Amino acid sequence: MTLSKLRDFLDSHNVKYLVISHSLAYTAQGVAALAHVSGKKLAKTVIVKIDGILAMAVIPASFHVDLDRLRMLTGAQTVEIASELEFKDAFPDCETGAMPPFGNLYDMSVYADASLAEHEEITFTAGTHRELVRMNWEDMARLVNPTVDRLIYQHAAVA
């Protein structure tokens, strides 16, 4: 994928953003290291199934989604991490695992960890394993309208 779908959307809303190219990386922590972005400031998009419906959980790269917390937040019976097979067709313009946190472009609900809102900017993968987008959190929140709450384990950062 090129950034075209996301870029067109951001440009149509007159949003300022920066594209950061980096060498190939598949893990959020690997991307953070290559792009010299703190794992707490790089957002990763985790695809979850909430009562069987795909949704996005957007959290800092150095943490894991607290599925029980997300289940309580949504009032769902079940919340689980979706497998790549379950979600890859939902993002035909993205490389698998590199979806931007713009669920509105893919007809998905978005849940964002509150710690991301504490920063002025958000940085995230932009559809490929070689590009990031950095933009103002307020612009992202306005365009995506995520449910913002605590979604991560407070005690368990990924090494």
Residue 159 has pLDDT above 60, yes or no: no
pTM for this structure?
Answer: 0.88
Q: Using DSSP, state whether 9 is helix, strand or coil.
A: helix
Per the CB < 8 A criterion, the answer to whether 66 and 50 are in contact is: no
Q: Locate 103 and state its tokens.
A: 């669920």
What is the three-class DSSP state of 106?
Answer: coil
Distance in Å from the first CA to the final CA of the chain: 30
Per-residue pLDDT tens for 69-94?
999 999 999 999 999 999 989 999 99
Give the whole-angstrom CA distance, residue 56 versus residue 133: 17
Tens of pLDDT, residue by residue over 38-65, are: 666 789 999 999 999 999 999 998 899 9
Domains and CATH numbers, the chain: 4-146 (3.90.960.10)
Amino acid letter for position 104: N
**What does DSSP say about strands 42-50 and 121-125: parallel, antiparallel, or unpaired?**
parallel
pLDDT score at 1: 42
pLDDT class of 34 with cuts at 50, 70, 90 = low
